[in-house]
Amino acid sequence: MASYIADEIDQKVRTRQETLERIAGSYPHESGNDPSVIEAWLSRVQTLSPFFLSGMMIVLKDGTLRASNTPASTTAHHDALFTETQWLLSILNSGGPQISPPFKDPDQNTAMIAFGIGIRDQSGAVTAVLVGLTQLDAAGFLQELNTQKWGNGGSYLIISPHDQMFLGANDPSFIMKRTPKPGINLLHDKAMAGYRGPGVTVNAQGVEEVVGIQSVPSTGWFVVSRIPVEKAYAPIDTIADYVIMAGALLSAIALTCLALFLPHVFRRLDRATQAIGDMASGRKPLHALPEDGKDEAGALVRQFNLLVKRIQDQETSLRRNEAKLAYMATHDTLTKLYNRPMLMSRLQHSLEIAHRHRAAGAVLFCDLDGFKPVNDNFGHDVGDQLLVEVARCLLSGRRQTDTVARLGGDEFVIVLTDLKAPVEDAKRLAQQYLDAIRAPFNIDGKELKISLSIGIALFGNESISPSQLLSNADTAMYRAKNLGKNRYCLHQ
C-alpha cells in the first residue's frame, strides 16, 4: 500500500514539474520584459495547464515579484515563499525544479505548496523563477488519496522530513501539523533518519500497528501506511485457532477409539492418525481420507473430510479474493477498463517495443464534452451508466496489443501500437470515436447527447517517458477544447 501511494504521488509531482519546465521554456524573452506581455503570457499558459489553478508567479533574482495571476493573497503567497531566501537561492543556483515547504493560504485557510523552476535567458543563465501554486488537497493531487479507504482500518500519512511536517493524511487534522519530537515514536525516528521498509509500532492512541514506509523519490517525502495488528492478522489467527482446535479434538477422538475398538479398527485409526499427522506436520498436503466404513472409524474420517472441505473452501475463497484484489489494482471499478497504474505499465512496454522494433504508435487523450450537465441534471447513477457506455464504445474494435484506460472522471486514454501510417491511422480512429460518441445515448429512456475532445501524441523509436507522452496528448486535448470541442488535435 505504501509503495502504491508513493508511486502515485511521485507520478503526480513529476508530471507537474515537467509541465512547469515546458512552460518556463516558452517564456517570451523577445518581449523585452514588457509587463503587459508577460502578464498575458502567464494567464495564457495557466489556462492551458490544469495543475496550477491556485495561480502562477514570476519572481526576480532579488526576490521581487515581476508578474502574477494568483488571487488576492498574492502578497501573502510571495511572503510565505520568499521571506526566507533559501528556496529562491536553491532554484537560482541549480535552475532545476524545486518544491517549496508547505504554507497556509490566509484567504482560504488551506494548505498550499509551490513548484518552482528557473527561467533561463538565451545564454542559459537563470534570470528569474517561475512558480506554480496548488493546494495540497487539490483534485488530481492529494484529494483522492485523502478520501480513499485503504483496506480494513488502514490509513496513511505523507511526511516531509526536511520540514518535519505532515503533508497528507486520511485524518485532515494531521495536515500541516509538526511531526512528533524525537524519542516519542522510535519507528518514526528511524524513518526520519532514512529507514524505509516494514515495522511494528504503537500509535498515539495506544493501538499496535503494522507499518510500511516508502520514499517518494522526486520530493524527499515519505509515505507511512498503517493498519492495526489486530485487523491485519485477524483472518490468519481465526484459521489458525480453528485448525488447532480441530486437530486437538480429532487427536483426542483418535486416541479414545484406539483404546476401545477391535484391532482392525485400531489399524484403520492408526492409518488415519498417521495421515492426519503428516498433514499437520506439513509432510503431505491437506486432503480428504478414504471413507471405508459406517462405524466409528468411518464417522471420524467423514467428519475429518468435512473439516478438510471447509478449510479448502476457505482457501479457495481467499485465492478468489486475492485474484479480485489483483484485478481491482489494475482496472477501473466502474468501466472495467485499465486504471492509471496499468496504463503507465502498458505504455512503458509499448514505448520499449516501438524503440526496439522501430515501430510507431499513438496516444489518444479523450475528455468528454458536456458530461457535467448530465451528472447535474440526471444524477450520478445516470452519469455512471453513460461512462460505461462510452467505455464500451472506446473499447470496441481494439486489438489485444492496444490499451484502453480510464484515468478518472470523464478522461480516457487509448494507446495504439504498431501503426503503419501513424498520423493517418490515429486521425482516422479519432474521427471514428468522435462520430460514435456524438450519436445520442439512450440511458434509462433518456436521450443523452455529449461529444468528445481528443488530443493525439505520436511516438516511435525516439526516447520519451510515458508521463511526457501523456502530457503531450493532454496538451493537445486542451487545445481541441479551446478550439470549440468535438474535435481532435495533433500535438506538434
How does pLDDT run across 364-401, given as a tens digit for each residue? 999 999 999 999 999 999 999 999 999 999 998 888 88
Give me the mean pLDDT over the 444-468 stretch. Answer: 91
Average pLDDT of the residues in 439-457: 92
Task: Specify whether 273 is located in the same domain as 303.
Answer: yes
Judge whether 335 lies within some domain.
Answer: no
pLDDT, position 76: 65
411 in the same domain as 319: no
Q: With respect to residue 225, please indicate whether it lies within any of the assigned structural domains.
A: yes
Q: Assess whether pLDDT exceeds 60 at residue 19.
A: yes
Instruction: Assign residue 25 the CATH number of its domain.
Output: 3.30.450.20
Q: How far is CA 186 from CA 168, 182, 222, in A?
A: 21, 8, 16
My answer on whether 315 and 369 are in the same domain is no
Q: Which has the higher per-residue pLDDT, 371 or 35?
A: 371
The residue from 280, 297, 327 where one domain ends is 327
pLDDT confidence band for 452 (50 / 70 / 90)? very high
Nine cell digits for residue 81 = 515563499
In a domain? residue 218: yes
Same domain, 208 and 257: no
Q: What is the pLDDT of residue 473?
A: 95
Q: Examine residue 332 and state whether it is found in any structural domain, yes or no.
A: no
pLDDT band at 259 (very low <50, low <70, confident <90, very high): low
Dihedral sign, Cα of residue 172, residue 175, residue 181, residue 186: positive
Section 126-138 average pLDDT? 87
Question: Angle 422-438/380-395 helices, nearest 10 degrees?
Answer: 140
H, E, C per residue of 287-356:
CCCCCCCCCHHHHHHHHHHHHHHHHHHHHHHHHHHHHHHHHHHHECCCCCCECHHHHHHHHHHHHHHHHH
Do 319 and 427 lie in a common domain?
A: no
Same domain, 186 and 77: yes
Q: How far is CA 236 from the centre of its chain?
A: 28
Residue with cell 443523452: 448
Domain end, chosen from 232, 263, 279, is at 232
Alpha carbon separation from 441 to 371, 373, 395, 433, 481 (Å, rounded):
12, 14, 16, 14, 21
**Are residues 311 and 277 both part of a single domain?**
yes
Q: Report the pLDDT value the prediction gives residue 237, as an integer from 0 to 100.
A: 65
Which residues span the domain enclosing 396? Answer: 340-490
Contacts of 413 (CB under 8 A, 6+ apart): 343, 363, 364, 365, 366, 403, 404, 405, 406, 407, 470, 473
Compute the distance between CA of residue 341 and CA of residue 329 in angstroms, rounded to an integer: 8
pLDDT band at 490 (very low <50, low <70, confident <90, very high): very high
pLDDT in tens, 321-366: 777 878 888 899 999 999 999 999 999 999 999 888 888 999 999 9
Same domain, 197 and 295: no
Give the up-direction half-sphere exposure of residue 415: CA atoms within 13 A in the CB hemisphere.
Answer: 28
Report the number of distinct structural domains present in the chain. Answer: 3
Same domain (yes/no): 64, 163: yes
Contact between 57 and 141 under an 8 Å Cβ cutoff? The reply is: no
- Please report the pLDDT score of residue 257 as a whole number: 63
User: pTM for this one?
Assistant: 0.47
**CATH code, domain carrying 419:** 3.30.70.270
- CA distance linking residue 389 with residue 410, whole number of Å: 12
Q: Kindly report which listed range (37-46, 69-78, 343-352) carries the lowest average pLDDT score.
A: 69-78
- The percent of residues in the chain predicted with pLDDT above 70, rounded, is 91
Segment 146-161 mean pLDDT: 77
Residue 322 confidence (pLDDT): 77
Are 228 and 309 part of one and the same domain? no
- Of residues 290 and 386, more confidence is placed in 386
Task: Say if residue 151's pLDDT is above 60.
Answer: yes
Confidence at residue 477, expressed as pLDDT on a 0 to 100 scale: 95
Tell me the pLDDT band of 75, cut-offs 50, 70 and 90. Answer: low
Examine residue 334 and state whether it is found in any structural domain, yes or no.
no
- What is the share, in percent, of the chain residues with pLDDT greater than 90? 33
In a domain, 256, yes or no: yes
Return the C-alpha cell found at 488: 481532435
Q: Grade residue 107 by pLDDT with cuts at 50, 70 and 90.
A: confident
Q: Is residue 85's pLDDT more than 70?
A: no
Q: Is the pLDDT of residue 261 over 60?
A: no
pLDDT of residue 218: 87
- Quick check: 351 and 440 in contact, CB under 8 A? no
Question: Are 354 and 406 in the same domain?
Answer: yes
What's residue 433's pLDDT? 94
The per-residue pLDDT for 263 is 61
Residue 37: its pLDDT value, please?
A: 86
Domain contains 410: yes
Which of 217, 232, 247 lies at the terminal end of a domain, its last residue?
232
Residue type, position 332, single letter:
D
For the cut 70, the answer to whether the pLDDT of residue 150 exceeds it is no
pLDDT for residue 265 is more than 60: no
Q: How much is the pLDDT for 73? A: 57
Residue 43 in any domain: the answer is yes
Q: Are residues 457 and 399 in the same domain?
A: yes
Q: Which residue has the cell 487523450?
A: 365
**CB contact burial 25-36 (16+ within 10 A = b; e otherwise):** eebeeeeeeeee
Distance CA 360, CA 417 (A): 7
DSSP of 158-211, one letter per residue? Answer: EEETTTTEEEEESSGGGTTPBPPPTTS-HHHHHHHTT--EEEEEE-TTS-EEEE
Q: Which is higher by pLDDT, 456 or 155? A: 456
Residue whose cell numbers read 543556483:
93
C-alpha gyration radius of the chain: 30
